[in-house]
Structure 1
């Protein structure tokens, strides 16, 4: 007698299979939640107040289990496979959070090669206890499948392979439909209470890994551009760049939170200019000034960082809204890498948390040699709840001093935080007295407060610009300073502040003379005497071929800085961006601006623009090349 014939078997009615599937799905879900960094009792406490989370976490596990149970005609065998898969993902999520402070996303399946390489890079602690429990439970389920059987459904037509395939297909169809509808809902996802909605690992821990993992299938999309050809894109990227290094100048880039010149509007009446340093630089012979067109209005700081540093445009990644820093998961070409190739020390400072926008990981993928966040900064100085711009100016000066002492050139990027919203009266303390803002138009009390608080931050941002200019002007080392804003400020719901000011920002885009006015922030590129002499400033600026109004897309700003410092041809990617900038200095979705300042909107007849096809082809190449960088390019 064979061994399998000696094993006692229990035969159950067919209706016990779906009942067992429900119970087993619950057990597997609980095990997956137990494997997470948060204590299971803490997770269940959250669930007790938001019962829908129980269903949302167990449903995908149950549907997957049901599909495999139908296919294998054994609910326990199906549960064993599901438990192994879900358990492995849950443990991988726990490890990834511990190692990189980032959860497991569905897109990680496309990065198995990179995961294998990373295994040797990090000192990984494997949760042996969790692994053992998952493996043991899987073995128990396999044994149960060998012992416990259920009778087939009483419909003869469904007892063969047709029934298996129909049951499996129906379960998978429901699962896919749920992921594309219920789990894709941002409104539902955002309706659940969490301790910190911006800290993604915490959200995963509190709302449950199965639910959050399924939600991520439809978030942060990247669309494949029309006509994309990987081989063609690889050929563009493999074209030889120029040899030799650029000019030996230190480059300091400061992206200042919500820095804008909306206070230059004629409706404001100033006794004391809130932007004296910016305005002085606009006539400085060693300065180039204008506006950058950033990806978002009143938010999206990281998207502007992404555009400037990589030359890829956030708004072109997908037809849907996405977050650029959340689609980055591999090494990318960036300004950091270009300057690193020239032997620079490269660094990034931000007086916020390293997990916010996943900056800790993203800047490593950008190639920054050094990253410093708030928890690594000493003796932080606050104005209200945010670290001051003046403190960050001191940090930058110290970084430049240290690079000079070490005999290194410095490429540095700072993202400030002081003038971050909200612009409420208590931002700088309950007793803080704000200088009044006077306008020629009547303002509501809400908008008056918003403008007074925001303008106080703008004064401090402008003072930071002036301090850095004064500091660098006295140095013998050549320094180029690039200072710009990340987006316009939020001034109330439905653009209330802009409406009361009579700003075109409040108009529908088709009614604006300037379609980009919601996205324009000022920039300054300034060189101290040593840098101006080394670069032959007037010639270098003239050869940039900037448009007369000085307006360019944020995605072209970094490439322009490379060209200004003699590095415009060092990589085919940034050389292409500078070429495209000369054809269309601003590209925003389907609208672009010509060098003479005229706009080409989607509804405009193509025959009115003689070079339209050439520009459109170049923009499409930009999209395709960007997609190649994000998905395929290998950078050690």
Structure 2
């Protein structure tokens, strides 16, 4: 009877359940405590946080992740360490990207993250490595490898991911209906969703967009809408003029080159730009290049300048989306007998440039290993040294038997704008923002070294076509700090007026037509530059480089992530995605047609080029990359698609 009324196992079982409940309470309580502290910290120190209406859902999403992870954990202590490291790494990385570039972490950033390790050094490099390695190591240390419950929880996660990958479209539609989608304002999306929901929602959207390559009839419809015709078969050799066959072309892409004199509130002690550049820019009508990016992602500006198509995604096009050999400007000129050189004193594979430069048709690529690094500002080679060494290499070919396409991408001018002892600060600023003064001094030297190079280049090559422009605006502090101070931009994209969208992407542009001097182009999207160069050369061959360019039209369109704006005689019209406005229908249809052609040309069957059967047997031209084994650099293995449609 005693055994029946007092079974010995019951107290132990009850105690075990009580102990388990206490552990769960501790674990989830730690998640809540971490969340409150972390969000308060980034809001106070960085000025970034989810909107108040999103705090509850964001907290619940973190708690849900905590539930799954604690089911895998060996103990509360290990769970606390792993979750603290994991959540902190994601939250800090997202806050920093928001503050510096204006947008949250996106799925494509995980593909591009490897390039960060090529750019950074010292404590910044080790800090970035730690942000990746510590969470992975902590999760492995936390995992209960012998527990069936842990493996069951992991199986649930794998099943959920596989289901999302198999059926992304319905998941994306449901998430958009539940949590909303602010098409043109990704910061606003993060603020109304919170980070975990934002990442899941945008991952579903990315997967849903990976559709089949465009069909031939779709390409024909897009070409008709653009008023374009199919160019000659791919890589058909063009008949050039007798003799040398053309003027040299020099394209100089200037890292973070912009006019800081417009920062009226900064109180700069003098104009940073060289007076000689001011004079040249005035002769060009103070034209501006309209870039696809702000503060970073230089490779997207490069792609537009070389291939004549706009980029409107928050991801680097060279990374996985350029998957076909294409007749971009280097290859198009190469068909007429040009030799092409690309120079950039950064690590050769950064942003997948080895593969990208080969695909667009460059003959030679000189990277950091090919330059004497004798004038370093931090990790960035000074422009004067770069220009001198480029002239030493390319100079003998300027009057040679073949015309030259000389493409130079500078490196000096990167955040946080370091200067060496040969470049002492000469400009002072009243602004408390230290980056403003540092950038002004960088431009002081950058513009003067540019003009010294131009003087020598024009002396040696007076008939050449020279195109120079800034790749994007500089980052001047968290949440557009230096720009907000002078009223040029708002801290949050949702507060932008129409003019701010143009300000966000407009950099100095100068086009020199040989002895005729500077050309007044007006403001031009960067993707219109290749067609302009062909016009200046008198190159009338059919080319895909004219598909998207509208330089001769009254209307010019600048697509950006989730938004585009048009420039015409009537002024500026901003068309925000998801918010139809009168007059935006035609430009929106144009943007979609160009995006479809881009998918076809750069990752699809290339119907727009004609002769698809010929393309399949095409042998790729090898790119000469001195001192670099291109075979050691792999390309992305994304599906043959593009994220723009």
TM-score interval for Structure 1 and Structure 2 normalised by the shorter chain:
0.5 to 0.7
- How far did residue 294 of structure 1 move? 1.0
Measure the CA separation in 1 of the matches of 2:357 and 2:435. Answer: 33
**Equivalent residues in 2 for 1:286-325, closer than 5 Å:** 287=284, 289-315=286-312, 318=313, 321-325=314-318
Q: Is the 8 A contact 1:344 1:410 kept in 2?
A: yes
- How far did residue 458 of structure 1 move? 0.8
Report whether the alignment pairs 1:552 with 2:524: yes
The alpha-carbon distance between structure 1 residues 291 and 370, as it changes in their structure 2 partners (threshold 3 A), is same
Query: What's the counterpart of residue 593 of structure 1?
Result: 566
Query: What's the counterpart of residue 369 of structure 1?
Result: 363
Give deviations 1:300-348, integer Å, cap 9, x for gaps. 1111111211122221xx5xx3221112233233111111111111011
Measure the CA separation in 2 of the matches of 1:478 and 1:220. Answer: 47
Query: What's the counterpart of residue 627 of structure 1?
Result: 599
In the comparison of the two structures, how many residue pairs are matched?
429
The alpha-carbon distance between structure 1 residues 218 and 230, as it changes in their structure 2 partners (threshold 3 A), is farther
Report whether the alignment pairs 1:403 with 2:397: yes
Query: What's the counterpart of residue 458 of structure 2?
Result: 473
Q: What TM-score do the two structures reach when normalised by structure 1?
A: 0.58
The alpha-carbon distance between structure 1 residues 66 and 266, as it changes in their structure 2 partners (threshold 3 A), is closer
Query: What's the counterpart of residue 277 of structure 1?
Result: 276
| Structure 1, 264-273 or 517-526: larger mean CA deviation | 264-273
Q: Is the 8 A contact 1:258 1:489 kept in 2?
A: yes
Query: What's the counterpart of residue 334 of structure 1?
Result: 328
- How far did residue 391 of structure 1 move? 1.0
Query: What's the counterpart of residue 486 of structure 1?
Result: 471
- How far did residue 282 of structure 1 move? 2.5
Query: What's the counterpart of residue 439 of structure 2?
Result: 454
Give deviations 1:214-267, integer Å, cap 9, x for gaps. xx9989879469995334427867444996548711111111110001324444
| Structure 1, 578-587 or 369-378: larger mean CA deviation | 578-587
Query: What's the counterpart of residue 570 of structure 1?
Result: 541
Query: What's the counterpart of residue 383 of structure 2?
Result: 389
Q: Is the 8 A contact 2:303 2:318 kept in 1?
A: yes
The alpha-carbon distance between structure 1 residues 607 and 515, as it changes in their structure 2 partners (threshold 3 A), is closer
**Equivalent residues in 2 for 1:526-541, closer than 5 Å:** 526-529=512-515, 532=516
**Equivalent residues in 2 for 1:201-350, closer than 5 Å:** 223=209, 228-233=214-219, 238-240=230-232, 244-245=239-240, 248-267=246-265, 272-275=270-273, 276-284=275-283, 287=284, 289-315=286-312, 318=313, 321-326=314-319, 327-350=321-344
**Equivalent residues in 2 for 1:92-107, closer than 5 Å:** none
Q: Is the 8 A contact 1:258 1:298 kept in 2?
A: yes
The alpha-carbon distance between structure 1 residues 221 and 48, as it changes in their structure 2 partners (threshold 3 A), is closer
The alpha-carbon distance between structure 1 residues 602 and 575, as it changes in their structure 2 partners (threshold 3 A), is closer
Q: Is the 8 A contact 1:292 1:521 kept in 2?
A: yes
Measure the CA separation in 2 of the matches of 1:48 and 1:594. Answer: 47
Q: Is the 8 A contact 1:292 1:557 kept in 2?
A: no
Query: Any idea what SS the aligned residue of 1:624 has?
Result: helix
Query: Any idea what SS the aligned residue of 2:346 has?
Result: coil
The alpha-carbon distance between structure 1 residues 264 and 50, as it changes in their structure 2 partners (threshold 3 A), is same
Measure the CA separation in 2 of the matches of 1:219 and 1:64. Answer: 29
- How far did residue 421 of structure 1 move? 0.5
- How far did residue 66 of structure 1 move? 14
**Equivalent residues in 2 for 1:19-168, closer than 5 Å:** 50-53=137-140
Measure the CA separation in 2 of the matches of 1:429 and 1:282. Answer: 28
Measure the CA separation in 2 of the matches of 1:517 and 1:460. Answer: 23
Q: What TM-score do the two structures reach when normalised by structure 2?
A: 0.57
Report whether the alignment pairs 1:434 with 2:406: no
Measure the CA separation in 1 of the matches of 2:323 and 2:503. Answer: 32
Give deviations 1:496-533, integer Å, cap 9, x for gaps. 2222223235464542434221111111111332xx3x
- How far did residue 379 of structure 1 move? 5.2
Measure the CA separation in 1 of the matches of 2:364 and 2:449. Answer: 22
Query: Any idea what SS the aligned residue of 2:568 has?
Result: coil
Q: Is the 8 A contact 1:495 1:506 kept in 2?
A: yes
Measure the CA separation in 1 of the matches of 2:374 and 2:208. Answer: 38
Measure the CA separation in 2 of the matches of 1:607 and 1:273. Answer: 40
Measure the CA separation in 2 of the matches of 1:174 and 1:225. Answer: 21
- How far did residue 608 of structure 1 move? 5.1
Greater RCO structure (CA 8 Å; 6+ sep): 2
Query: What's the counterpart of residue 523 of structure 1?
Result: 509
Larger Rg: 1
- How far did residue 555 of structure 1 move? 1.4
- How far did residue 353 of structure 1 move? 0.3
